[in-house]
């Protein structure tokens, strides 16, 4: 079990094609545990394997968000979208690969996905609100679709500048109250504290 580094946009690895998981092996179960540790270390409620640089079709959703009342995060292996509602909902969305960035995105209010679980059994999950949003956000990661694909070119440049500032090496200057960057000096594990109520990192 280990916390793995999160791949931050615009790292091209986030656009890599993903491969299906052939079989739920010990390796996949180890990947699941690393994803759990990493998701919680960075205050996420969902994470896709490609966000730690593993281009497999697999993601996790926090059990509370998934309506299971707590427990281990739910693994979605080789997920497919079965259906989405015509009714839509706009809400701020964060992503572990865009620390501190939130984008208002309109998505279907409900979604139903089919997937394989960590026990290798097929299952379907239907959710509304944040659960639907989380499933669709993570499914987007498997097709290389990211938050910045929902915004215009100006906003995209702003996001790039902000992330580039955050990525600057700490050695350049002495950090202090006058720093214009708004995160905890090189430690991305703290970015979750930037999340406001109702905003979730996926």
Q: Which residues have a catalytic role annotated?
A: 138
Decide: is 148 part of the binding site for Zn ion (CB under 5 A). Answer: no
Q: Which of 95, 115, 148, 163 is in the footprint of Zn ion by CB under 5 A?
A: 95
Shortest Å distance, C-beta 190 to Zn ion = 18
Please give the residue whose beta carbon sits closest to Zn ion in the complex. Answer: 95
**202 is a site residue for Zn ion (CB under 5 A):** yes
* 142 near Zn ion, judged by CB under 5 A: no
ω into 10 cis (within 30 of 0): yes
* CA 150/CA 63 separation, integer angstroms: 27
Beta-strand ranges (E) seen in the chain are 46-48, 58-61, 74-84, 88-94, 102-108, 110-116, 122-128
b/e sequence 136-161, b meaning 16+ C-beta within 10 Å: bbbbbbbeeebbbebbeeeeeeebee
Q: How far is the CB of 179 from Zn ion (least distance, A)?
A: 26
Please tell me whether residue 58 binds Zn ion under the rule CB under 5 A. Answer: no
Closest to Zn ion by CB, 48 vs 115, is 48
- Give the footprint of Zn ion on this chain (CB under 5 A): 95, 202
């Amino acid at each position: 079990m280990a916390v793995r580094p999160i791949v931050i946009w615009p790292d091209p690895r986030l656009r890599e094609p993903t491969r299906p998981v052939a079989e739920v092996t010990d390796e996949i179960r180890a990947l699941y545990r690393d994803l759990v540790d990493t998701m919680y270390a960075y205050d996420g409620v969902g994470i896709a394997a490609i966000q730690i640089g593993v281009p497999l079709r697999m993601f996790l959703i926090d059990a509370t968000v998934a309506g299971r009342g707590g427990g281990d995060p739910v693994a979605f292996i080789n997920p497919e979208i079965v259906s989405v509602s015509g009714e839509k909902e706009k809400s701020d969305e964060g992503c572990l690969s865009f620390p501190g960035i939130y984008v208002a995105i309109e998505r279907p209010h409900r979604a139903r996905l089919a997937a394989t679980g960590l026990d290798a059994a097929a299952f379907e999950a239907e959710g509304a609100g944040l659960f639907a949003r989380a499933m669709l956000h993570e499914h987007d990661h498997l097709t290389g679709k990211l938050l910045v694909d929902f915004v215009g070119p100006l906003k995209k440049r702003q996001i790039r500048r902000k992330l580039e500032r955050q990525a600057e090496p700490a050695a350049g200057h002495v950090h202090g109250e006058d720093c214009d960057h708004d995160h905890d000096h090189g430690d991305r594990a703290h970015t979750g504290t930037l999340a406001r109520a109702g905003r979730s990192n996926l």
